[in-house]
Chains A and B, each alone.
Chain A
Amino acid sequence: MLFNHIVPASLALFSILLLGACAPTIGNRVDLEKVKFEVGVTQKNDVADILGLPNAIEKGKGDSLEYWAYNDKPELTGLILPVVTAGGTGTFSADTVTIPRFSSGKVRSAALICAFDSNDILVNLQKLQ
């Protein structure tokens, strides 16, 4: 009887806790899937206003274009997991394990690349993922 109450209550509590989980706030301002830029019309400032600054800016080699690269989300650099470990006296204590960063580099897998001409007009757009 008691078990019948505890399980649903625990599940409800767990669900509420999960709803409290947060999303990163340091990513692009808008989901890259949702953005619509117009080649030949959109300007550099428009892209910066809508998405934020790019993860990397490079001048083209052999052309006069400037390339802006965007990752689809912030890079995961580590996890902190609570791990229950046995204490020396038969009690349990919470510990943490930090997994070191997986990768580095500004743009390992760009999801969007914008090319601008010398007048800051978008001349090419590639969604890569």
Chain B
Amino acid sequence: MKMRAILLLFVVFALTGCATPALRPEVATDFLQSKVSAMVYLENKTIEYNEMVYKVLWNENRQNVSDFSGLWDVDAELTTQLAGDMAALNLAVKPVRAILADEPSYAALVQSIKATRGPDARNVPLQLNAETQARFQKAGINYLVVVRAAGFNISTTTMNSSGGLNLPAILFVYDIKAGKEEYREMMFSGEYVKWGKSPRNIESSGMAILKEAARKMLKTSVEKHFPKVIGLAQVQ
């Protein structure tokens, strides 16, 4: 009896661990049949490098931040990429800019996304204002998918000539009809990058390596993870 209880407890723990959450089945069904809009938003247009430097008698942790704001419209490029990758899953997707082409309405949406990080970094549900919501409804959009990321980062040591470029993010699914956030989860995107002598080589030639890696990591995340979220693949 005791053994059975322990086994049952173990199974419950095993099922809980690393479970990928997903949209509620009725929402997922509606999502798959609806028009959707998608958006990627990076709060910081930066790459944060963290490096452990070997000094024989001690190790130093060093940090450097590279700012690319104004040099690369990362939100637009990755939003287009996200919409394309979602469309490859047979979803009817439009990039947000196709609906909110004017700057004030786009800025209002960005403000709503920023507001999801409350005081003391507490999570606040995504809430669009009435005007933005009406714009989406007018365009026949039922759901908004938002990937909100902090910015790129690389953690390495002086000995490495390659490593992971990461884009920690949060994935939101917002129900336009109901006017409420339906789903959110942490979304870790990363890509293995060869940089040679310095990680900062990813900035060379107009950030060619960074841009390529960013596109790849988003594509991989959408292909591997998104089907589970929307019920196209079995949740594990």
Contacts and interface: CB of A to CB of B under 8 A. Distances in A.
Interface of A: 17-18, 20-27, 29, 45, 48-49, 52-57, 66, 71, 73-82, 101, 106
A63 to B, nearest CB: 15
Contacts of A80: 52, 58-61
Nearest to B154: A26
B89 interface: no
Which bracket fits the contact residues of B? 35 or more
A55 B46 CA distance: 9
A79 B59 contact: yes
Interface string B126-138: 0000000000000
A53 B67 contact: yes
Interface of B: 46-47, 49-71, 156, 158-159, 197-200, 203-204, 206-207
Contacts of B197: 25
A24 B53 contact: yes
Contacts of B63: 26, 74-75, 77, 101
17 contacts: A18-B56, A22-B158, A23-B53, A26-B200, A29-B198, A52-B203, A53-B66, A53-B67, A53-B68, A53-B207, A66-B70, A74-B62, A75-B63, A76-B60, A78-B61, A81-B57, A82-B57
Contacts of A24: 51, 53, 60, 62, 64, 158
A34 to B, nearest CB: 17
Task: Identify the interface centre among B54, B64, B70, B206: most chain A CB within 10 Å of its CB.
Answer: B64
A66 B198 CA distance: 27
Contacts of A52: 66, 200, 203
A25 B53 CA distance: 9
